[in-house]
Amino acid sequence: MKIITKLMSATALLAASSLAAEDLEVTHWWTSGGEAAAVKKVAEAFNAGTDHTWIDGAIAGGGGTSIPAIISRIIGGEPMGATQLNHGRQAQELIEAGLMTDLTELAEAQGWRDIINPISLLDSCTVDGRVYCVPMNIHSAQWLWVSHGAFETAGLPVPTNWDEFVAGSAQLKEAGIVPLAMGQQGWQQSIAFGALVLGIVGVDSFLEVTANKNADEAASEAWTRAFVAVAEARELARDSNVQDWNLATNMVIQDTAGGQIMGDWAQGEFQVAGEIAGKDYSCLPGMGFNEILDTGGDAFYFPVIDNPSVKAAQMELASLLISKEMQVDFNLAKGSLPVRGDIDLSAANACMQKGLQILADGGIMPSNRQTFDADTDQQINDLMSEFWATDMSAADAQAAYVSIIKNAN
Amino acid sequence: MVFTAVVVFLGGSLWTIAHSFTSSRLLPKWKFVGFDQYERLWSTRRWMISIENLALFGVFSLVFTLVIGFTLAALLDRKIRFENTFRTILLYPFALSFIVTGLTWQWILNPDFGLQAVVRGWGFENFAFDPLNNPDLVMFGLLIAGLWQGTGLIMVILLAGMRGIDEDIWKAARVDGIGTVKTYIRVIIPMMRPVFVTALVLIAAGIIKLYDLVVAQTSGGPGIASEVPAKYVMDYMFGAQNLGQGFAASTMMLVSVVVILIPWAYLEFGGKKRG
């Protein structure tokens, strides 16, 4: 018996000291062209730079499908080595339940607090003073993507804000072009809704509702105008019956749609299609109204796995993700903004430069993922899917929205 | 066996029902909030639409599956040639999962590539058949796919029932000069009662758990026009990280099954003596 115990502790020691090469399964939902190109860069760097192997666990279907799958694996006791999630409140309860690896030591050793910009990204990863995730990129949702080709066909100048875009929509329709490309999924419609409302009511009123959950503000007259504007946008998107966001982006690339309201990840699709910003398409941050972007994005979490060798591999991946080279390579491919302010992104195109400039000027606000929990997010998505697909009136939609905000926490 | 039944089925259900009265979010917690989850559930438009959709799908699916299944079975029962071939072809869709069925029909009903495009290609330029993008018709788009997939099985079950009927019955009917159709309706159907019960249970179970077909074919769209209760449960339990709300919805599903099934099962099985 004693010998066995000794043998066992000896093997344990051995395992701890000579850390084996591990297969690290990484789950994510980066499956569109631009996203896949970006994640491939990380996988290659991980395979080349460490002894470990990247096992790709891509889940198709976007965050709505993937997050439940990822979370049920972690809760069900079959955690993956690392996983993408949106930073914000998605993983809050998993962290509280002790299912996520604490990265504080690594974060302090590498001085994440000094290099990550804006610092709110790291704060979103921090619970009770401990760091639980690596912010990977910044994605903002308030962008209007405009096809130059479509507006040329209709004989119009390229619009510089949403009002000009709407003004030209009738002529676009006459030219057989769908004014607004819109994937028929709740989260995409929510993004368009958020971007439009922000443009109309302004950032203070917007945050009063989303961050402070002030339902009276959401019932105000300014918000009524915003809901009417969204109802107008709905009419522009009537003939767009694609589902996935990248198919809607493709309509803009093919010049069969005038524009799309979508986050800056659409950038990657334009890039893969070989389009040039400013020549084939334009990007209007904040819908051309106000230069303000939210700081949503992706972060990597590392579920707790009781194996020191796996843990070492997780730490190596974590420090790779935040490294300067990786931040440049990954974000250039994906079209997202880096989480570090101290790297050279002169290779970035015109659209990304706009985003970087806004970021540097401090035109930022928390994203919906940071202000709403998943439950509220889902209810708003449900409301938006119904609103965009039916003839629901703006007043009804506003009333429903107010009651969601009233019950949000 | 008893252990499994008690712990897994009864225990699991009771645990779910108990937690539907809590404010559990991502992880179950014992924090009671009374009927709050149910109040919210019944004031949610998406849930109401889900219930309506399920009722619509249920009624049509039940009627059409039985009528079509029985008609096909009766036709095969007439000792036609190539019966094996027809039976195989008609049963074949059942071998496919709902996911494959849903995707296939999504493509067939796609207005740009599917049925509508093909018929227009034949010269009928004004032909319009686009149920999946029409909130009023989308449930019928799902119904078509559901019937295509499920009718074969019911047909085979009913056919087996017909084969179990004594040849003498047919001879007697012929002697009395009763027509074929009338014999089926008046004599054969009442004799096939146990087979119909089996078929009904199978169809009803399929209706209540309608989920994967919707996910694959429409993902609840357009808008929330083809949402169903099971999808609400899944989305709120995992997507929205709100277990309490999901449990409340699944408890309502359980209640509706129990309300319908128990009196019926009692009448069907409980009243009679064994033997």
State residue B108's pLDDT score. 92
State residue B266's pLDDT score. 78
Does residue B263 carry a pLDDT above 80? no
Residue B223 Cα, gap to closest chain A Cα (Å): 4
| DSSP β-ladder status, A257-261 and A143-147 | antiparallel
Residue B5 inside a domain? The answer is no
Q: How confident is the model at residue A8 (pLDDT cuts 50, 70, 90)?
A: low
Does residue A13 carry a pLDDT above 80? no
Residue B227 inside a domain? The answer is yes
Provide, as residue numbers in chain A, all residues whose Cβ is less than 8 Å from the Cβ of B245: 375
**A280 near A270, Cβ under 8 Å?**
yes
Please report which residue ranges of A21-91 form alpha helices under DSSP H: 33-49, 62-75
Q: Tell how many helices (H) and how many strands (E) occur in chain A.
A: 22, 13
pLDDT tens-place string over residues B69-112: 999 999 998 888 888 898 889 888 988 888 999 999 999 998 88
Does residue B165 carry a pLDDT above 90? no
> Do B241 and A93 make contact, defined as CB atoms within 8 angstroms?
yes
Q: Measured between alpha carbons, how far is A383 from B43 in angstroms, rounded to an integer?
A: 13
Q: Which of A12-21, A295-304, A366-375, B24-33 tops mean pLDDT?
A: A295-304
Q: Is B88 on the interface with A (CB under 8 A)?
A: no
Q: For chains A and B, what is the number of CB pairs under 8 angstroms?
A: 76
Residue B111 inside a domain? The answer is yes
| Least confident window among A335-349, B164-178, B220-234 | A335-349
Angle at A277 between CA A274 and CA A281, to 5 degrees: 90
| DSSP β-ladder status, A130-131 and A126-127 | antiparallel
* Nearest by Cα to A341 from A326, A321, A327, A320: A327
Mean pLDDT of chain A: 88
> Do B234 and A68 make contact, defined as CB atoms within 8 angstroms?
yes
> Do B241 and A407 make contact, defined as CB atoms within 8 angstroms?
no
Among A184, A375, A385, beta carbon nearest to B242: A375
Which of B133, B224, B226 should we substitute to test contact with A (largest number of A Cβ atoms within 10 Å)? B224
State residue A7's pLDDT score. 52
Residue B12 inside a domain? The answer is no
Residue B26 inside a domain? The answer is no
* Nearest by Cα to A85 from A33, A34, A133: A133
Mean pLDDT over residues A353-377, rounded? Answer: 85
Q: How confident is the model at residue B197 (pLDDT cuts 50, 70, 90)?
A: confident
pTM of the model: 0.81
pLDDT tens-place string over residues A97-107: 899 999 999 99
Residue B241 Cα, gap to closest chain A Cα (Å): 6
**A180 near A256, Cβ under 8 Å?**
no
> Do B221 and A241 make contact, defined as CB atoms within 8 angstroms?
no
Question: Using H for helix, E for strand and C for coil, what is the string for A99-141?
Answer: CECCCHHHHHHHCHHHHECCCHHHHHHEECCEECEEECCEECC
Residue B10 inside a domain? The answer is no
Please report which residue ranges of A182-307 form alpha helices under DSSP H: 186-201, 203-210, 215-218, 221-236, 245-253, 266-272
pLDDT tens-place string over residues A153-164: 999 999 999 999
Q: Is A254 on the interface with B (CB under 8 A)?
A: no
Q: How confident is the model at residue B31 (pLDDT cuts 50, 70, 90)?
A: confident
Does residue A4 carry a pLDDT above 80? no
Does residue A316 carry a pLDDT above 80? yes
State residue A3's pLDDT score. 57
> Do B241 and A375 make contact, defined as CB atoms within 8 angstroms?
yes
State residue A243's pLDDT score. 82
**Domain hosting residue B107, numbered range:** 44-274
State residue A5's pLDDT score. 55
Does residue A12 carry a pLDDT above 50? no
Among A71, A243, A407, beta carbon nearest to B238: A71
Query: What domains lie within chain A, and their CATH numbers?
Result: 24-139+296-361 (3.40.190.10), 143-294+372-406 (3.40.190.10)
Does residue A15 carry a pLDDT above 50? no
With a CB cutoff of 8 Å and minimum separation 6, the contacts of A91 are: A85, A100, A132, A133, A301
Residue B127 inside a domain? The answer is yes
Element (H, E) at A57: strand A53-58
State residue A14's pLDDT score. 44
| Least confident window among A234-238, B59-63, B126-130, B210-214 | B126-130
DSSP state of B22: B
pLDDT > 70 fraction of chain A, expressed in percent and rounded: 95
State residue B257's pLDDT score. 83
Mean pLDDT over residues A170-194, rounded? Answer: 91
Note the ipTM here.
0.79
> Do B223 and A185 make contact, defined as CB atoms within 8 angstroms?
no
> Do A97 and B221 make contact, defined as CB atoms within 8 angstroms?
no
A369 versus B72: the higher-pLDDT residue is: B72
**B76 near B87, Cβ under 8 Å?**
yes
> Do A374 and B235 make contact, defined as CB atoms within 8 angstroms?
no
Mean pLDDT over residues B153-173, rounded? Answer: 90
Provide, as residue numbers in chain B, all residues whose Cβ is less than 8 Å from the Cβ of A372: none
Does residue B180 carry a pLDDT above 50? yes
State residue A134's pLDDT score. 93
> Do B224 and A93 make contact, defined as CB atoms within 8 angstroms?
no
**A235 near A169, Cβ under 8 Å?**
no
Mean pLDDT over residues A307-334, rounded? Answer: 91
User: Dmax over Cα atoms in chain A, in whole Å?
Assistant: 87
State residue B272's pLDDT score. 56
Which value, in Å, is the radius of gyration of the alpha carbons in chain A?
A: 23
> Do B221 and A373 make contact, defined as CB atoms within 8 angstroms?
no
Distance of CA B214 to the CA centre of its chain: 12
Residue B4 inside a domain? The answer is no
Structural domain total, chain B: 1
Query: Which two tokens mark A164?
Result: 């000009």
State residue A178's pLDDT score. 93
- CATH number of the domain that residue B48 is part of: 1.10.3720.10
> Do A72 and B224 make contact, defined as CB atoms within 8 angstroms?
no
Among B25, B235, B238, beta carbon nearest to A72: B238
Provide, as residue numbers in chain B, all residues whose Cβ is less than 8 Å from the Cβ of A68: 234, 238-239
Q: Measured between alpha carbons, how far is B74 from B168 in angstroms, rounded to an integer?
A: 17
Q: Measured between alpha carbons, how far is B88 from B152 in angstroms, rounded to an integer?
A: 9
Query: Which two tokens mark A363?
Result: 């035109």
pLDDT tens-place string over residues A51-86: 899 999 999 877 777 888 898 899 888 999 999 998
Q: How confident is the model at residue B123 (pLDDT cuts 50, 70, 90)?
A: confident
Q: How confident is the model at residue A41 (pLDDT cuts 50, 70, 90)?
A: very high
Q: Is B11 on the interface with A (CB under 8 A)?
A: no
State residue A17's pLDDT score. 43
